[in-house]
């Protein structure tokens, strides 16, 4: 599985997940406060998004991931997100 993260605006990212011959695309917005809480600013926002997708892909298929969302939404579906996030950095 290959995850590509491209910044397309201020704190907005296009994520492409490739698996074999199939691909999914997602648009993700990263609020600054969550980014700081998750990373303490020690990695880029793009690296933060990639780690979040690794977390998601351990729990669901790429096709099940919303096509557009704000990063905090992950915590609504997976309450352990913030607690487990650092394992993915």
Q: 45-75 b/e with 16+ CB inside 10 Å = b? A: beebbbbbbebbbeeeebeebeeeeebeebe
Instruction: Convert the pLDDT of each residue in 1-23 to its tens digit.
Output: 899 999 999 999 999 999 999 99
Residue 88 is predicted with a pLDDT of 97
Q: What is the pLDDT of residues 34-84, one digit of tens each?
A: 999 999 999 999 999 999 999 999 999 999 999 999 999 999 999 999 999
15, 43, 84, 89 from 68: Cα distances, Å: 10, 22, 22, 22
């Amino acid at each position: 599985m290959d995850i590509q993260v491209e910044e397309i605006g201020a704190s907005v990212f296009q994520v492409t997940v490739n698996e074999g011959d199939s691909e999914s695309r997602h648009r993700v917005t990263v609020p600054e406060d969550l980014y700081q809480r998750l990373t303490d600013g020690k990695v880029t926002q793009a690296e933060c998004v990639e780690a979040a997708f690794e977390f998601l892909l351990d729990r669901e298929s790429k096709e099940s991931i919303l096509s557009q969302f704000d990063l905090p939404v992950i915590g609504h579906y997976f309450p352990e997100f913030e607690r487990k996030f650092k394992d993915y950095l």
